[in-house]
Each structure stands twice: as structure tokens, then as C-alpha cells.
Amino acid sequence: MKEDTAIIFSDGLSEYDFGEGHPFRGNRYDIFKKFFREFFHTEGRYDLLETEPATDQELLKICSKEYIDFTRNFFNTAGSSVRLTGNFSRYHSGDNIPREHHGKLEEAARLIIGQAKQACDLVSGGEYTKVISIGGGLHHAKPNYGEGFCLYNDVAFCGRYLLQEHGLSRILIIDTDAHAGNGTCEYFYDNPEVLFIDLHQDPYTLYPGTGFSHEIGKGMGTGYTINLPMPPYSDLKAYEYVFEKVVEPVVKEFDPQIIIRNGGSDPHYGDILTNLGLKLDGLYMLGKNVSELSSICDGKVVDLVASGYNMDVLPYGWLALIEGLLGYELSVEEPLLDISFPRVDGSQDNAIKMVNQVREILKPYWKCFSGD
Ligand SMILES: [Zn+2]
């Protein structure tokens, strides 16, 4: 019998590796594969797939030929010692500079776009209801500018591809990564066919410094970008409140045909680059809530998972997200960490204030908020 769920996990992903000392190493995929085999006790209830890298033609959906040519040439010839040309800063930020012993980044970035394409074809085409792309969610990449460890934006690719090739007109993107999805936001800022809901740590306190609640889209797309800047140390209760008061009512009113979710383990309190306050039950809740929302669109979800910067948390966090999404019990216990759980008064009150502000700003665009 054919399964309902597929996980795309291509072998070449480990090449998405910025090298020694960089926060984004390719070993995350090896660590997760080992952990996944050991703890995900559902052998045979999903199909495990591999895919082909995206072609230039496919990449042109999300960026220009000049950007693709520069990115391919630079990352393929960088070798072990990187020689920066004057053009680098025109196309990429400093945090995308590969270090010693980096992997074949551009090839792996194409593979991630290939996975996104396959995931969209399989879910939109009805072969599976939920497809998870491990390695996906490179949400900082902009049309012609790579940043935040992201070369090509697979979240944006999903949106564009589903609009253009599958003829969809109501696509929901939920970004639960701790950082704001500034790249994805830019792609769809004026487009009412893509509702972009982004839950991230308050941009006053974290890269990329955008994603404020007053950024709500422009032109025809006004009201279709919803930024939810979570106060530092926001916990399970704060996130649940945001889902209940903003995400659920808006998604019901929008009535999406498919959901694309992205984000890995970096909202966990133990992450070394961020300051949020979720534990595994919080990440599990994110997956579960997305799964429940997907009943609106026959269960259709493309799920993109890659981020996380504490390797003692990452495999646990990814598994919690996946188990929540697929409707399994949470099978792993909270990892024991050197970092203690933050006890900060006021983060829930601040989340309530933020939610009230967002509902007020969006009132003219959504009936569900008009009674406020
Ligand atoms: Zn992130």
C-alpha cells in the first residue's frame, strides 16, 4: 500500500557546508539521519525519497541569470581558500562566505530547490498529502542577493512554482524559524495570492532586523504579509496564544489550497544563535498546529526543515516538528543541556500586547479581526 507521507532526504545535502567554524555545517544532516533511524519508530509508514538538483531554467523562477552565474562560479571555484572578488558583496552578504573545508554549496543549494519542486509536485498532484524536505527553508535568500547562510530560496520557489506551474491562487506560507524570513517576504510582498505568516524573534533583538508588525505588504498584497515578532524567551503558552488569536482565524478566512511551512529547531531555548523559549513540546506543537490547520486544504503540507545551531538540540527539535506534523506521539525526551531554561517574567504579557497590536493593524484587511 502506498504511504500518505514522504520525506525527501537527498544524499548530497551534507555538501551544504560553509566550513570550519561557521554555524552552518553539513554534518547536521548526518547527525539527523543517524538519530532519525534510531528514534523514529515508524518504519514503513512513510516513503523516503531522493531527488535531482534544480536546473538553471528552474532557478530562473526565483533569481536572475547573473546571480545564478555568479553564485555557481564563485562557490564552485572557491576551493579551500576563498578568494573574494569585488562582485561578492554585490551578490552575497559576509555570512555566506565559505571557510576552510567547506562543501559543494552551490550544488547542494540546487538539490534543495530540486527537493522543493518534487515536494510541490507530489503534494499538489495528490500523490502524498504531506511531504517533508529535509534541508529546506532557506528563507533569507532574496531574488538576487544571498544572505543568512542561504543561496537559493526554496520557500519562495515553492510559492512561485505552485502559482505558475500548478495554477494555484491561494497559497499559505507559515515561517516558524526563529529568524524573520526576509527573503521570502520580499518575493510575495505585493501578492495577495500568497499569505505569508511569519513567527520569529522580535527583530529588534535578532538578525535580520526586519519583520516588524507594521510590515504588512504593499499594493494588492497589503494585509497578506503578517509578521508576528515574538518577544525574547517566548514560550509554549505565548506561541499557542499567537496561533489561537491570529494564525488560526486568518488562515480559516484565507482558505488556502496548500500550506508551505518552514523552520527547524532554532526557536528552542538551547539554540546558540537565538533567544526564544520553546522546548520540544513547543516545537511539537508547531507541527501539530500546522497539521490541524491543513484540514482546511485536504491535509496538504509541504514542510521544509533545516535550521538550528545547537547540535545537541537539532535532531530532537526536527523530530519533534515532524512527529507533530505527522500526528505521532512525541517520542523523545527533552535533551539535557548546559544552558538552563530561561525564566523571564513578562514574555507572555508582551506576546499578548504584540498580538493586540497585530490584530489592530490588520483589522481593515481581515473580517476575523473586525470585531476587535
Ligand atoms: Zn533561523
Can you give the residue ranges of every domain in the chain? Answer: 5-369
Does the pLDDT value for residue 2 go beyond 80?
no
Does the pLDDT value for residue 308 go beyond 80?
yes
Of the pLDDT bands very low, low, confident and very high (cuts 50, 70, 90), residue 80 is: very low
Gap from CA of 271 to ligand 1 centroid (Å) = 10
Q: Which amino acid is at 33?
A: K
- Cα-to-chain-centroid distance, residue 102: 23
pLDDT for the residue numbered 1: 44
Q: Tens of pLDDT along 215-237?
A: 999 999 999 999 999 999 999 99
Does the pLDDT value for residue 150 go beyond 70?
yes
User: Among 44-58, 79-93, 143-157, 210-224, which stretch is predicted with the lowest mean pLDDT?
Assistant: 79-93
Is 165 exposed, middle or buried (CB count within 10 Å of its CB: 0-12, 13-18, 19+)? middle
Cell of 136: 529546506
Given 92, 102, 139, 140, the catalytic residue: 140
Gap from CA of 185 to ligand 1 centroid (Å) = 14
| Phi then psi dihedrals of residue 258, to 5 deg | -160, 155
Gap from CA of 42 to ligand 1 centroid (Å) = 28
Mean pLDDT, rounded, for 112-137: 98
Q: Is 140 a catalytic residue?
A: yes
Gap from CA of 44 to ligand 1 centroid (Å) = 31
DSSP category for residue 26: T
Gap from CA of 276 to ligand 1 centroid (Å) = 11
Enumerate long-range contacts of 315-319, CB under 8 Å, 24 or more apart. Answer: 315/31, 315/32, 315/34, 315/35, 315/36, 316/35, 316/265, 316/280, 317/264, 317/265, 317/268, 317/280, 317/283, 318/32, 318/36, 318/134, 318/264, 318/265, 319/35, 319/36, 319/39, 319/40
Domain 5-369 falls in which CATH fold? Arginase; Chain A (3.40.800)
The string over 258-291, giving b where at least 16 C-beta atoms fall within 10 Å of a residue's C-beta and e elsewhere, is bbbbbbbbbbbbbbebbbbbbbbebbbbbbbbbb
